[in-house]
Amino acid sequence: MQSFSHIQADAAQQMLKDNLATLADIRDANSFEAAHIEGATHLSNESLSQFMAATDKARPIIVCCYHGISSQQAAQFLVQQGYEQVYSLDGGFEGWRRAFPYVSQG
């Protein structure tokens, strides 16, 4: 069975800057609304089917959570759904914010 990969914030930032990946943020809606990585899509149980219908399975997906733990389970789920390149953001949103302090607010 295929598995997801881990990605560091700097490599993820470069992929996103070059529009080579989609960023899925699985944190709760209030946290996402308060601050998120620019260009992120909020992915929840409610938005999952819409996300899957709109996202090409060949396009790389980077999954982000709070600290890089729960994103691993979500990333593996997406692999099981047929997505070919799925990454879990090491350090999650908090790690990203330490590396790149400017994030989208509200």
3-state secondary structure of 59: coil
CA angle 102, 47, 91 (to 5 degrees): 35
71 beta partners: none
DSSP state of 91: T
Q: Which of 12, 65, 79, 86 is catalytic?
A: 65
Question: Which is it for strands 35-36 and 104-105: parallel, antiparallel or unpaired?
Answer: antiparallel
Q: Any catalytic annotation for residue 64? A: no
The residues annotated with a catalytic role in the active site are: 65
